[in-house]
A and B are shown apart, each in its own frame.
Chain A
Amino acid sequence: MPDYLPLLLMVLIFFGLAMGFRLQIGLALALASLGGALISGHGLALRHLVEGGFGYLDTILIIATAMIFMTSLQKSGMLDAFTSFLLRAFYRHRFLLLFSMMLLTMFPGMITGSSTTAVLTTGALASPVLMKMGMSRVKTAAFIAMAGILGMIAPPVNILVMIMGAGVDMPYVGLTFPLLALVIPLAVIFTLWIGAKEVKSLTSSELEEIIASLPAGQSNFRIYLPLVLVAALLLAQNSALPFLSQLGLPLIFLLGGLLNWLLHWKKMNFFLVTQQALAEALPILAILVGVGMFIQIMTLTGGRGWIVLVFLSLPPALLYLGMGISMPLFGAVSAFGSASILGVPFILALINTNAILTSSALSAIAGLGDLMPPTALAGMFAAQVVGEKNYFRVLRHCLVPALFELVFALGFLLGGPFLAKIF
């Protein structure tokens, strides 16, 4: 059996179940993987299915705990209080308000290197403000999804570059300026493209009206304490502080959630908060497990090697096109996986270029993988944050900015020899 055949059948099973039977995506992926294992003569391959799922255990824990934290913030009234605070501070300056929302949403991504964290934390803070400013729900989601992706690429922490660097023995040094040169222009352009047309400057009376519509919460500093704690601990992750830098994101989010519960234990039941958070996060958790299974079986049947080889076989002129297509496409299974599995061979194929610039540009391309269905982590979470059921409606508004980012990053790649003289 040729190596691509089981993969082809797995993809067919997946689409059949997900589209035809409208089965949940996580389950459809798991069943497609099981089918692939059976077809290729590996039997049930339970070990491989479970081992593949484990590839995402860390991500699953981050998402589950981040959801607990966000649910608790919602219950304590912090989200509403923060929204009215930001509106009061910036309501006269349309672009400034939008750009501050962009940076605010990017921030956790810059620290953690994950778009998911950005979208789920400060993205969730920014989205009510944006919607009150007159931005539509799906555009708001697109805005924070793109901000999350930029946050993932922005320094100081870019895990995609670290993964690629680990594959070619490039130390994670000297990346701040190349990454900023990629991210800042994109941040300005995305802010203008997605936001500027819809959002209006508010008058004082409109502002009062909006703020009055928010549920009255206590507005003392206590409700901000959990967020301050989480922000402080996130910053400490990037330092050499011996104990604090070891905490890991799941513990940080859970500590934030627990502090919030201690401050508001009268009106909040931590068990119910966890139940609600898990119920909301379960679709994505199941998808991640399913994707992990899918990749493992795809590798087991030789499908992964076949795909990498197909893209590496492209003639040099098409190589850049191949990168632009394959890396975001592979991001459908995981942007990090794309960086490791395709990013490393591509850097090696471009061995004569400056590895720092190449990996920076490739990270911007691989990061777009977080917009690629069926996982589309950034798009899916952004949709969830604004309460939009169909994340494809969000992705539609991400298309133009994403294409722009792709072209910009490819330009960065092609201009590498010239840029190398600047940095």
Chain B
Amino acid sequence: MKTRLNFKNLNFQRGQPIFIFIMVVIICFFTGENFLSLHQEDLIIPSSGLSQQLRLSHYLPTLANTPGNTRVFLFEGKEKGGNVLILGGTHPNEPAGFIAATILIENLIIKKGRLFIIPQANLSGFTHNDAFEANPQRFSLPAQDGLRWFRYGSRLTNPIHQWPDPTTYINPSSQKLAGPESRNLNRAYPGSKEGSLTERVAWAIMQLLKTENIHLAIDLHEASPEYPVINAIVFHERAAELAAMTMMDLQMEGFDLRLEASPPNLHGLSHREWGDLTSTLAILLETANASHGRLKGKPSPQLIVKGQDANYVRAARLGRLFVPFDEEGIPLKRRVARHLASIKSLITNLAALYPSQTIKFEYFPSPQLLLKNGFKDFLQIASSSK
């Protein structure tokens, strides 16, 4: 196999390797510029209701100046009440959580209680894309005066920020996992103060839950339509009643929602460790994202936003999916509206169950309005460029 092709007559001796080396440098330059462009932070314009913008290093100072030092937005009402944390972007390839959190930050006004929002929990994951998935690097949503661009990242922390992966990863709760999972934020809880970047991010989030005395914490996710836990509310056992009430609310609003108890032997996940190790009520929400699945057709920004895919329509007919999927697809606005409706209902029911933990809104972005009119009403300003 070694000497199949000689190209002897094409061999220009010395000049040839130099030419190839220059080509290598040129390709590195152009692709490198493209890859580095993903390190620019996404535009988020908080509403007038914002009380404070922090960074995660507030809870773990060693995160300062690291790629994990993500933004934390705090909305605080005049009256004291409940404390709630909303986490988007744990997995940057699941955009509904990131966008739902962004819409909240850009529109929310609170009268009572405190709401902490982290829109991009694994900030490093937004700076790269998974090999073999061929996903677009960005997608755009309509804003009042043009298009707003958002990054579509990877499920895992960027390897240039955390390298190399161990052969097998034993996470802080002693669960053994495949090596690359060491970069999965939602396997790293409760984290570790001196651990890897991902583990330190997890540790800082745990620290936020404890020091801010968070009563309810919601982790926003998406899954591929062929995944069984979908359109679901995954709850820690202490949050069972809250989850059940929310499911009934959502069904009345026209969102089919499945209850899933957090498996007790699956450690390192938010809904398990948050609930076990802090006093918070831990909830994880899932919607269906076709661009995330293994059956997807051509990946594109339209697939992310419109959520229409002929492969999934066929797979649904074959009974291979866990959600209904027709030609209409499952658009991002529907997935975000579902997250918003769930969040609103969870917070309302928290107040019903524990009146001292009430959060009152002056303005909460309406899921029904989002379904009807799309994102335009909720995103004021377009990005100046990609």
Contact = CB atoms under 8 A, between A and B. Distances in A.
B156 to A, nearest CB: 11
A237 B27 contact: no
A166 B268 CA distance: 12
Contacts of B361: none
A337 B134 CA distance: 14
A248 B169 CA distance: 11
A248 B179 CA distance: 10
Contact of A47 (B1, B35, B174): B35
A301 interface: yes
Interface string A214-242: 00000000000000000000000110100
Contact of B167 (A52, A54, A237, A309): A237
B132 A295 contact: yes
B298 A163 contact: no
B31 interface: yes
5 contacts: A46-B27, A47-B34, A245-B166, A300-B299, A337-B132
Contacts of A306: 297, 311
A163 B294 contact: no
B170 A245 contact: yes
Contact of A51 (B2, B4, B129, B294): B129
The CB with the most chain A CB atoms within 10 A, among B133, B228, B265, is that of B133
Contact of B320 (A112, A283, A312, A390): A312
A299 interface: yes
Contact of B295 (A55, A167, A250, A308): A308
Contact of A283 (B1, B170, B267): B1
Interface in A14-52: 21-25, 46-48, 50-52
Contacts of A340: 294
A296 B131 contact: yes
A22 to B, nearest CB: 4
B386 interface: no
Nearest to A50: B31
A389 B3 CA distance: 10
A32 B266 CA distance: 42
B314 A345 contact: no
B20 interface: no
A226 B168 CA distance: 23
B296 A171 contact: no
A310 B323 CA distance: 20
B198 to A, nearest CB: 13
Given A163-B178, A309-B311, A390-B1, A345 B168 contact: no
Contacts of B168: 113, 157, 162, 237-238, 245
A344 B294 CA distance: 9
A348 interface: yes
A113 B167 contact: yes
Contacts of B263: 169
B229 interface: yes
A159 to B, nearest CB: 6
A61 B167 CA distance: 13
Contacts of B131: 51-56, 292, 296
Nearest to A6: B298
Contacts of A238: 167-168
- For chain B, what secondary structure do more than half of its interface residues adopt (helix, strand, loop), or is it mixed? loop
A341 interface: yes
B255 to A, nearest CB: 23
A300 B300 CA distance: 9
Contacts of A246: 166
B176 interface: yes
B228 A351 contact: yes
Interface string A240-283: 10000110111100000000000000000000000000000001
In the A-B complex, the 9 residue pairs with the smallest Cβ-Cβ separation, listed nearest first, are A55-B131, A162-B178, A300-B134, A299-B134, A302-B298, A248-B164, A237-B167, A302-B297, A22-B4
Contacts of A53: 131
B166 A166 contact: no
Given A47-B34, A305-B295, A308-B294, A250 B164 contact: yes
Interface in B145-190: 164-168, 170, 174-179, 181
B173 to A, nearest CB: 11
A169 B176 contact: no
Contact of B134 (A54, A113, A250, A297): A297
Interface in A315-368: 337, 340-341, 344-345, 348-349, 351
A195 to B, nearest CB: 26
Interface in B223-258: 226-229
Given A47-B34, A171-B267, 15 more contacts: A21-B5, A22-B4, A47-B31, A48-B134, A169-B229, A169-B266, A251-B164, A296-B131, A301-B298, A302-B298, A305-B309, A312-B320, A341-B294, A345-B294, A389-B1
B30 interface: yes
Contact of A237 (B166, B295, B311): B166
Interface in A131-174: 157, 159, 162-163, 165-169, 171-173
B1 A309 contact: no
Interface string B1-33: 110110000000000000000000001001100
B208 interface: no
B195 to A, nearest CB: 9
Contacts of A292: 131-132
Contact of B132 (A52, A159, A167): A52
Given A157-B168, A313-B318, A348-B226, A171 B132 contact: no
A349 B132 contact: no
Nearest to A61: B164
A55 B267 CA distance: 27
A330 to B, nearest CB: 12
Given A3-B297, A312-B295, A296 B178 contact: no
Contacts of B34: 46-47
